[in-house]
Amino acid sequence: MEYIKNILKGSAIGAANIIPGVSGGTLAFVLGIYDKLTEAIGEFFEVDNKKRIEFIKFLIQIGIGVIIGILIFSKIIEYMYNNYNEATNFFFIGLIIPSVFFISKKEKVRIKSINFLFLVLGMLIVIGLGYFNGFQRIESGIINMSTVYLIKLFFCGIIAAGTMVMPGVSGSLILLLLGEYHNVIGFVNNLNILPLSVIGIGAILGIVIFARIIDFLLKTHREQTILFIIGLILASIIEIYPGITFSMLILDIISIILGMFIVYKIS
């Protein structure tokens, strides 16, 4: 049954990773697999064969779930955002809010004067990304699959997937900043193998690099790193807040309560 749970958790992370402003890393943290995930990736080549086989099984299960989540939810989320944008955002805010409480309680974090700076730094990074996002123009239309464009997709994969490892920072938001979010959603929905393969190779490299860094920081400066992550998560709520339309108020309330209830039951 453990492998089924891991696939389901991977599906949730995959779904989150395609939503601008929502972090798959946050869900991994809430679902209780973040440490194991960064350890499995970051220390893969530094452990004995028995431990490496354990890592492989775990990563395959999570990976299968992530792929399922992306393929299934890319169409669902695209539909929800197009038709119920405000309620959908409130649902994801409902998923994020309890994560701060559960992480703080689990880690028993203490906000000292110096540690508070790490919390603020995390918030400033996400708010800064959201600020620049406001000036990003997404071009639509036919995409020229030139060598230069494929190289750009490769580096987009590195950057976006690397940031996905960090709770609170949305890889999809990074793609939006880089002007490739809607293109990538189109590649997924239309199963365009070439650009998806290029992005995938870059994503693997980005995840490995960032996972090693996060794994090291969690082991050497855990409290400061946790506070930094909480700062990222808090600011991500600000970034996806859609505003309130009076006619949608009841649906917004139901959506946020549903999101909070789901996280409560999972956690």
Q: What is the pLDDT of residues 19-78, one digit of tens each?
A: 765 677 777 877 778 878 888 877 777 778 888 888 888 889 888 998 888 888 777 877
Cα(197)–Cα(206) distance, rounded to whole angstroms? 14
CB-based contact 173:239 (threshold 8 Å): yes
H or E segment to which residue 137 belongs: none
pLDDT 10s digits, 141-158: 445 577 888 888 888 888
Task: Check pLDDT > 50 for residue 139.
Answer: no
pLDDT of 222-261, one tens digit each?
A: 788 778 877 877 777 777 778 888 888 999 999 999 888 8
CA dist 147 → 144, 150, 196 (Å): 9, 5, 14
Report the predicted TM-score, pTM, of the whole model to 2 decimal places.
0.59
Whole-angstrom Cα distance, residue 60 to residue 35? Answer: 16
Instruction: Provide mean pLDDT across the span 167-193.
Output: 73
**The pLDDT of residue 22:** 66
Beta-carbon-side half-sphere exposure of residue 185 (alpha carbons within 13 Å): 23
Q: What's the burial of 196, exposed, middle or buried (CB within 10 Å: 0-12/13-18/19+)?
A: middle
